[in-house]
Structure 1
């Protein structure tokens, strides 16, 4: 039997990259996937790819920074799709302005990144929490190697703070919701090739070399490298795993 049969899984930021890969992987394992993204066309494309492959999927537009919209979305999904038992908080953005940059850029980075990467995780989780508690659900948050350290090149204090926050939120929720049978874990990606960092990879090959020199596996990651960990943490295979972060960083944090 597929590992996620009879589950309804919500994946945020699933219009591309890691979110799209996880959504497709969940569908292959039997889950009915709710694809959420701020870009409705991208969400619909992901859902259509899943349907074309024989899976089950619905797509909706959602800005995770809007708390009331998240609450409305949880109700809409419950009414139109069913009871959610898996939530993947993947939606995220990056910014590369350090604290010594232009004031407007620094402030914009901080407000936007915290709004999406941290407040957005709270907003979506809080909105879907009643369903997850009722169904002894599973939450998978997308952290980062920057949940543990700050990468100086390029500087990104807002992103680092947001991903530290995601890990702290994961552990706090795991401790609080364990009594309800809800498991909460995170994945810590390393350097994953996505559209978000495409321009940086193209314009700054030395940055890529720096990452690779610190990565024992000697390669950058692909979105598909996150699928196995995401399936594991959402499945019964991880039935006694909560409050953990599963690193998918090519060994970056080991050296």
Structure 2
């Protein structure tokens, strides 16, 4: 393992870890195997079994937190909770924040789409990314760390947003947020990048689309995220890596 992909003595925050078989789980496993301390944030409580698994993989310290990251106030609350949980080991430093929290949904033709469904896509994808960034930015600045966001190939040039205008628009907003963070925070030594995957082989996607669809493997996504959070990417900021 490259020493530049060794995250010992670093605290990584991962949002939207989700249920078993989802991409957030693979990302958490990847960082645990590389020696990172982890703070997991999700809308739903994480099991003690998951925490124990991550420690067995190599994470020295793991904390699990419940928050509605679409609510800016709740994001600030949980950021303070994370800092308290890891203060003895990391002080006020957060070395990377991986914004996995989000979700997909078709909204259909524009004239047929429900305003509530449009608002939901912005809430779970863009609002969560904004509130998380805002809440953790002081700790990431202190560590001269990085943010890794999840966009979508649907929000990239040439990507298809057919029947999913709300999702593509929300993910476009996430990519704009990422670029702004990269520009605004460069002087503070903070980097920001994004991955833009096609369909990822998750339990949910396989259940919905079958096992033979053209998937990106969860572990491949996790490896790219680790690269973007590592010193190997010290000169990479403001970039979108398409994973197909």
Q: Give 3-state SS (helix, strand or coil) of 1:81's partner.
A: helix
SS of the aligned residue for 2:160 comes to: coil
Cα drift, residue 100 of structure 1: 4.5
Aligned length: 231
Secondary structure of the 2:68 match is coil
Select the residue among 10, 13, 23 that pairs with 1:10: 13
Q: Equivalences for 1:103-142 in 2 at 5 Å? A: 106-142=114-150
> Which residue of structure 2 aligns with residue 35 of structure 1?
40
Distance 1:86 1:240, change over 3 A: same
Within 1, Cα distance between the matches of 2:126 and 2:16? 14
Show the counterpart of 2:173.
165
> What whole-Å deviation, never above 9, does each CA across 1:19-56 have from its counterpart, x for those lacking one?
111111111111101111111135x5432320232323
Indicate how the Cα distance of structure 1 residues 107 and 198 shifts in structure 2: closer, same or farther if over 3 A, else same: farther
Report if the CA contact (8 A) 2:51-2:64 is conserved: yes
Q: SS at the partner of 1:175?
A: helix
**TM-score with structure 2 setting the length:** 0.88
The correspondence of residues 131-210 of structure 1 with structure 2, limited to 5 A, is 131-148=139-156, 149-152=159-162, 155-202=163-210, 208=213
* TM-score, normalised via structure 1 length: 0.84
Q: Which residue of 1 aligns with 2:106?
A: 96
Q: What are the Cα deviations for residues 61-103 of structure 1, in whole angstroms up to 9, with x where unaligned?
A: 1221111110001111111113211100010111112244655
Q: What stretches of structure 1 of length at least 5 have no aligned partner?
A: 209-218, 250-255
8 Å CA contact 1:15–1:45 kept in 2: the answer is: no
Comparing 14-23 with 179-188, which one deviates more in the overlay?
Answer: 14-23
Structure 1, 193-202 or 71-80: larger mean CA deviation: 193-202
Deviating 4+ runs (over 3 angstroms): 99-103
* Residue among 82, 85, 88 paired with 1:80: 85
Shifted more, 75-84 versus 126-135: the winner is 75-84
Aligned partners of 2:94 and 2:177: how far apart in 1?
A: 20
Matched, 1:47 2:51: yes
Residue number in structure 2 paired with 1:237: 232
**Where does structure 2 lack aligned partners over 5 or more consecutive residues?**
88-92
2:90 is matched with none
> Is 1:233–1:241's contact at 8 Å kept on the other side of the alignment?
yes
Contact 2:155 2:161 in 1 (8 A): no
